[in-house]
Amino acid sequence: MQYSKLGRSSLEVSKIGFGCMSLTGDSGENQLIIDRALDLGINYFDTADLYEHGENETKIGALLKSKRDQVILATKVGNQHRADGNGWDWNPGKKYILSAVEGSLKRLQTDYIDLYQLHGGTIEDPIDETIEAFEILKQQGKIRYYGISSIRPNVIREYVQRSKMVSVMMQYSLLDRRPEEECLQLLHEHNIGVLGRGSIAQGLLAGKPAAPYLNYTEAEVAKAAEVICSITSESSSSSQTAIRFVLQNQALGSAVMGIRTLVQLEDIAAAADFPPLSNWEIELLTKALPTPYYTAHR
């Protein structure tokens, strides 16, 4: 496993991160997967208070309690469950964040969170108030660092200018290159780490039947998957090639992958051990699709 420093933090994160939302087996199966992930060198585990109405944090807290000093534990905040249990509302307010962290700490069975992330965000949010809440939590020792999970350039720019965040989590794959338009270079220049999610595009780049995805047609998605296969050797897999495409960008600290089984884990973790894609492979992949022009996310 390879590691990289996450932005300007002191966190050395594994190039493959563990997206805990996908962990749906029983406790015994989950423990085997977590233990094997640690054996393979994965140290970054990412969850959110929204997942399973908080139960995912509870699950991960129990699985990692005895190994707390070996892992980088990340969770997210901002989606407030309604009292009647019927959905949730967006709440990036200071009062809510300072309150919500207590629930996450309790469910995760820890005294501190390594990376606390705002789970979304809009330009209409009280951004300075949100930042103040994170800074207070840092001073209190309840979190070590903070970041945001967002694909919106206008929001990301505001946090780059106004906060001391260390990371941005965003969707990024061969089929979703929005981060390349305005974000990756900006974040790299400001030494802010990027955590990639969706690297295999819901499985469309790893053997799943082609289907329309974002601005791409089914035929275009099939073409991308075909090119992925064409540069994948017999000793590797399409998912590994898709992940390597993401990791070749210098801004990326980790590809955070949803993992359900030991077989998936072994395949995904191995992607970090392959050499970087060559320039001609990257060119072949990027020319496989028409250049996307995204506007709705701005």
Domain span at residue 165 reads: 3-202+247-276
Tell me: pLDDT of 296 over 90.
Answer: no
Structural domains counted in the chain: 1
Cα of first residue to Cα of last residue in the chain, in angstroms, is 35
Q: What's residue 293's pLDDT?
A: 57
Cα angle: 9, vertex 5, 199; to 5 degrees: 115
Tell me: pLDDT of 297 over 50.
Answer: no
Who's near 208: CB < 8 A, 6+ residues apart? 202
DSSP string covering 200-260: TTTTTTTTPPP--BTTB-HHHHHHHHHHHHHT--TTS-HHHHHHHHHHTSTTEEEEEEE--
* 234 within domain boundaries: no
* 228 within domain boundaries: no
Q: Which residue has 């090119």 as its token pair?
A: 227
Of the two residues 297 and 12, the one the predictor is more confident about is: 12
Q: What's residue 120's pLDDT?
A: 85
pLDDT digits (tens, 9 = 90+) for 67-90: 999 999 999 998 877 777 778 788
Pick from 53-57, 112-116, 120-124: least confident = 53-57
Tell me: pLDDT of 189 over 90.
Answer: yes
Of the two residues 80 and 149, the one the predictor is more confident about is: 149
* 181 within domain boundaries: yes
Conformational region of residue 150, where left means phi above 0, alpha means psi within -120 to 50, and beta covers everything else:
beta
Pick from 13-22, 84-93, 208-217, 221-230: least confident = 84-93
Percent share of the chain, pLDDT over 70: 97
Pick from 84-93, 124-133, 158-167, 212-221: least confident = 84-93
Cβ atoms of 134 and 163 closer than 8 Å: yes
For position 83, which CATH number holds?
Answer: 3.20.20.100
Q: What's residue 277's pLDDT?
A: 86
Q: Which residue has 């990791």 as its token pair?
A: 247
* 289 within domain boundaries: no
pLDDT digits (tens, 9 = 90+) for 25-62: 778 889 999 999 999 999 999 998 887 777 889 999 99
* 258 within domain boundaries: yes
| Active-site residue (options: 3, 44, 51, 159) | 51
Of the two residues 16 and 50, the one the predictor is more confident about is: 16
pTM listed for this prediction: 0.90
Does residue 51 have an active-site annotation? yes
* 296 within domain boundaries: no
Q: What's residue 250's pLDDT?
A: 86
* 291 within domain boundaries: no
Percent share of the chain, pLDDT over 90: 68
Q: How far apart are CA 58 and CA 142, in angstroms?
A: 17
Mean pLDDT along residues 246-275: 91
Pick from 51-65, 105-119, 153-167: least confident = 51-65
* Mean pLDDT across the chain: 90
Q: What's residue 294's pLDDT?
A: 58
Who's near 293: CB < 8 A, 6+ residues apart? 215
* 68 within domain boundaries: yes
